A and B are shown apart, each in its own frame.
Chain A
Amino acid sequence: MPPVELLLMLLLLATVIVVARLKDLFAAAMLTGIASLLAAGLFVLMDAVDVAFTEAAVGAGISTVLFLGALSLTSRREKQQERTRILQILPILIVVATGAALIYGTWDMPAYGDPDAVIHHHLAPDLIAETENKIHIPNIVTAILASFRGYDTLGEVVVIFTAGVGVALLLGGLGLRRSDGRGEEES
């Protein structure tokens, strides 16, 4: 593994271990943002700039703000819990088993960047060859998301809209909706 990737991976590992062990929720929220930023750096090194963009903006930016917003409603420190021995050990066992299964699963995957991997011979050559002729824009990722898979993206936007409506209905916000159904907005 190239040294920059290795460094980022080790920093990421250290960050998530610290997050798991911290009792200070404010510091944990900040470190979660740093973990997202490190992950975004890794995505950039893998040439997945669109994904890195999203990870940096959503993971390091918006979710940190929302964590802090939630944190301002509760106490800053995690409550100490009385836990039996088995409850202390069981979670780490489950996590280690899941991680081992995932690593075992990667053994069957083609090597990273392998040009002979199946995924690079199914649709990718057609999309790379035809985007220029059919869509007339240089960014193939945008062409796939917006045009070739326009239905999927429409579905995703509807999902985001539904999530926003769900949050608005569940949490309300700023006490705007009154029982008479009329907003007191537009202040």
Chain B
Amino acid sequence: MRPPSRVREMPILRVVARALVPVILLFGLYVQFHGDFGPGGGFQAGVIFAAGLIIFALTFGVEALRQVVSVVLTERLMAAGVLLYGAVGVLAMFLGGEFLNYTALDPLTTGHHGQHLGIIAIELGVGIAVAATIMRVYYAFVGRRPNGDGEPREPALGAEQGGGAS
């Protein structure tokens, strides 16, 4: 395997990644918000979205990605996704239904779209939580050093300093 610095200098990889990453992210959003009509849903969308960002990190270096999505942000989004899911359930209780009974969300909408609204909201929570968790796990892996003391020294896969998407 070539070291990451050499990968960074490969023009074909850089150009292909630059062209592909936006498409992958867009496809992730499509899978997210079209999941109630076609195959897919929050889990798959979250994984695809995270995979797109990880491809970006593999090509342009993890430092470039951390400027977009910081480690602390992934940790906050992990919790935010779960809380969004739970909040939809609690909101349904406040509106007179059972926990996670989306039909109770009806008063918020003009028609009988409570279920649809609830599913879109909780799938969004799933997608955010899954994407953030995978990003966090990736950061944990690239942050490890062979000597195991957690101090950044010799960077792992795609993890070295500098470079960037400039």
Contact = CB atoms under 8 A, between A and B. Distances in A.
Interface of A: 26, 49-50, 53-54, 57-58, 61-62, 65-66, 68-70, 72-74, 76, 134-139, 141-143, 145-147, 150-151, 153-154, 157-158, 160-161, 163-165, 167-168, 170-176, 183, 185-187
Interface residues of B, number: 65
B129 A50 contact: no
B157 A161 contact: no
A69 B141 contact: yes
B140 A168 contact: yes
Contacts of A146: 36, 41, 118-119, 122-123
Nearest to B118: A147
Interface in B1-17: 1
Interface in B125-166: 125-126, 129-130, 132-134, 136-146, 150-152, 156-157, 159
Contacts of A160: 129-130, 133
Contacts of A54: 43-44, 47
Given A168-B136, A174-B71, 8 more contacts: A50-B44, A62-B50, A65-B51, A146-B118, A147-B115, A164-B136, A173-B139, A173-B143
A53 B105 CA distance: 30
B123 to A, nearest CB: 6
Given A65-B58, A171-B140, A172-B140, A157 B85 contact: yes
Contacts of A150: 89, 100, 102, 122
A187 B140 contact: no
B18 interface: no
A161 B75 CA distance: 9
A65 B118 CA distance: 33
B104 interface: no
A66 B135 CA distance: 11
A187 B66 contact: yes
B139 to A, nearest CB: 4
B66 to A, nearest CB: 7
Nearest to A187: B66
Given A65-B54, A161-B82, A161-B133, A171 B141 contact: yes
Contact of A73 (B36, B41, B67, B156): B156
Nearest to A61: B51
A62 B47 contact: yes
B125 A58 contact: no
B19 interface: no
